[in-house]
Structure 1
Amino acid sequence: MSVQGRDCCITLKTQYREMGLPYSEETIREAVSILKEEAAIEGDGNCGAIRRSRGVTGCVVTPLSIETAPLLFVLALGRSGLPAFVSGTRVLYRHTVNLSAMESGLRFDLIQDRGAVRTLYEGCRVKDFELRIMRGEAIKLKLDIAGNFSPVCYPYPEKAAVYSGERFKEDGVKYRINGTEYKNIYGLTIATRKDGGTQTEVRIHRTMNSAELPPIIETLEITAQLLHDHYDYRLYGAFRLNLSRLVLMADETAINAGDTVIGPLRYYCAGDFSADVFTTSEEVIE
């Protein structure tokens, strides 16, 4: 079940802030299992079953903007710690978030507003996430949500303000591989599973008939910058992703089509994954 519409709202609540997401779609719902009792040998042969709540499941797909990116990266990747002041500026701070090689992460509450029905899911976490960068589109983050508590009705009528602001788009992204900038990358997807450890795969869509990507990438740096020039500080309105030790797993280029233009390469991240998010506030963003 995929829910879309301007009358719906998803709100994330952490210890320090409450943020409404400008999501594009969501499938948040109660996870249900059935305790089944087999039919007796005698009788009408009917089986019995008891409905049992297993918490919350589903996903949220949301675009990254100047206001939502810091918190969303913390929820997806891990804790941010204390911000570091950026020298040469007056009020600019850098928040570093690191991918934790553990299943557990920062817990948060999720409020689902579908018009007449408002539901509260407590103690949620991000179990998997996927970052999508495609030519001509906004950068989107898909969060797979999990939780152990049953949903309850949310009685309060107040709604959190939806954080929007300028959205990051593909045309403001630069890719540097082993220190060299590549301009033949059409799009990129980073998929991370955090179940019993962390597994990260990177799918790079590159244009054909151009410089080939190496089979082993020691460093991949992805920098996204907002295009408007009204930001006072040179790094505000930007984030940077750093991945190390990428190993080529498969070349998924279609070989049965003679006019193939875009060819995807699938890499496994055997090293570290971290992100730098720049804001004008020194407070802890989580």
Structure 2
Amino acid sequence: MSSRNRNILIVVGAIIAGIAARLLFPMGQPAISVKAEDIFGIPNFTNSMFVLLLVDIFLIVIAFLATRNMQMVPKGLQNFMEWVIEMMFNFFSSINKKWTPAAFPLLATIFLMVLVSNWTGLLPGFGSIGFCHAGEKQATLALNVKDPYAGLVPSPFAAAEGESKYLGCQPNESLVALFRAPTADLNLTLALALIAVFAIEYFGFRALGVGYLGKFFNVKGGPVGFIVGIFEFISEIARIPAFMFRLFGNIFAGEVLLIVMIFLLPLALPIPFYIFEVFVGFIQAFIFSVLTIAFIGLATEHHGDDHGHAEGAHH
């Protein structure tokens, strides 16, 4: 069989499988909300905040179970968690040996919380289980995916005229998801970014004292040094949106990708994307914590001493 005929059969088979899957597994119209939504009728208590509380409880329970019966020769959960903590500590020490002992509680917390938060969005029910809410979602806050199979076959999941396009909801109602990955909410990623940048500045002042400000306001370096300091200050502030949007963008984009793939072909197509998103969730937690310790290392460098050593070597 030629490669052309094989490709045609694959495309035709995918279309047939997609139509069959949609008939066997009816689903409502997906709506991808950019904004976290209030749940339980509590103002400012969003679905992402609810899941974050569950993530915190999960990590606390794991820590309790791993340490409730400490043994000299660890086994079971204690052995596994000691291996995880030791591996993280050794890795961060390879980046910055001096400040890792002081910064490790923050780094480990960020990594584990972000990792679990990222992976929660891959669990069944996230984005599909929720409450029916009166009225349609605002177009500026939701992306409605159109049905590509409309008109090809009779669609049992398509809403008839006057009916809600969300399963289990009444006409003129929309779905508010009960679960949302915390890191797919800009509020959490902003909070994590502020915490990370605050920690970086704290260690900078802790290492260099008031002289740390000379990195940004270099009045002794002449006009050039002053301009360079201003750019350093701008780059320091720019770390906040960089931390924030890198994490949010990757996790939210992954959720959108999975929802669209499940909507197009529920049976087999989403599996490779699920595997990819597991990897992405780990990488984003890894990058966030590694950048934090790396920036702490840059902030604690004695720039003046390095400059003086460089001048002495030049002379």
Could you say which TM-score interval applies, normalised by the shorter chain?
under 0.3
Higher strand share: 1
TM-score w.r.t. length of structure 2: 0.25
TM-score w.r.t. length of structure 1: 0.27
Which protein has the larger Cα radius of gyration, Structure 1 or Structure 2?
2
Higher helix share: 2
